[in-house]
């Protein structure tokens, strides 16, 4: 009969956890916060630049904005969402996501809804600039954007011809 042999394989995770190596959770979180703080200026610059680009191409006073693609505006929003990781205030990434949802719907239906786009862009400016706004007020704005988007989607759906 064969004899059972046991092999001990060194497990780095086990060694880090039980042999005193590695970082504690609190240390890892502190390191992550420190790394994010170092990126804060670059993230804020990205947000400011992208919002300025949105205003220059899609602002309410820009002539010919209707000829622009919803996809191009969507592509301007994505770096803003990425850069908002350094912003600890609630609401801003959610408002960006709401605008992306609106743009998806606009592209799907082939119809721009400029008043809704304008409201979303104004909300982005408000949420980004106003440092003193409470989290509850920020979430009220986000909820208002969500209701506006849902109302728009329902009103567009009602005007479409029904497929038999």
Are 90 and 130 in contact, with CB atoms under 8 Å apart?
no
Q: What digits encode the pLDDT tens for the residues 19-48?
A: 666 677 888 888 888 887 888 889 999 999
Lowest mean pLDDT among 44-48, 93-97, 146-150: 146-150
Distance of CA 152 to the CA centre of its chain: 21
pLDDT value at position 39? 85
Q: What is the pTM of this model?
A: 0.74
pLDDT confidence of residue 126: 93
Residues contacting 137, CB < 8 A, separation 6+: none
What are the structural domain ranges in the chain? 23-159
Please check the confidence at residue 164 and state whether its pLDDT lies above 50.
Answer: no
> What tokens were used for 113?
């809804």
Query: Given this model, what pLDDT does residue 163 score?
Result: 33
Quickly count: other Cβ atoms within 10 Å of residue 74's Cβ. Answer: 16
Residue 157: pLDDT band with limits 50, 70, 90: low
């Amino acid at each position: 009969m064969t004899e059972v042999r046991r092999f001990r394989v060194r497990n780095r995770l086990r060694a880090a956890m039980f042999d005193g190596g590695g970082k504690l959770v609190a240390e890892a979180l502190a390191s992550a916060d420190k790394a994010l703080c170092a990126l804060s200026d670059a993230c804020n610059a990205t947000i400011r630049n992208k919002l300025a680009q949105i205003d220059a191409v899609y602002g309410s006073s820009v002539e010919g904005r209707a000829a622009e693609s919803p996809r191009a505006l969507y592509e301007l929003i994505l770096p803003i969402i990425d850069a908002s990781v350094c912003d600890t205030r609630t609401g801003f990434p959610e408002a960006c996501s709401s605008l992306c949802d609106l743009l998806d719907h606009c592209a799907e239906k082939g119809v721009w809804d400029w008043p809704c786009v304008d409201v979303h862009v104004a909300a982005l400016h408000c949420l980004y600039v106003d440092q003193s706004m409470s989290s509850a007020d920020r979430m009220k704005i986000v909820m208002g954007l969500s209701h506006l988007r849902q109302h728009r989607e329902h009103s567009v759906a009602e005007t479409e011809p029904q497929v038999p």
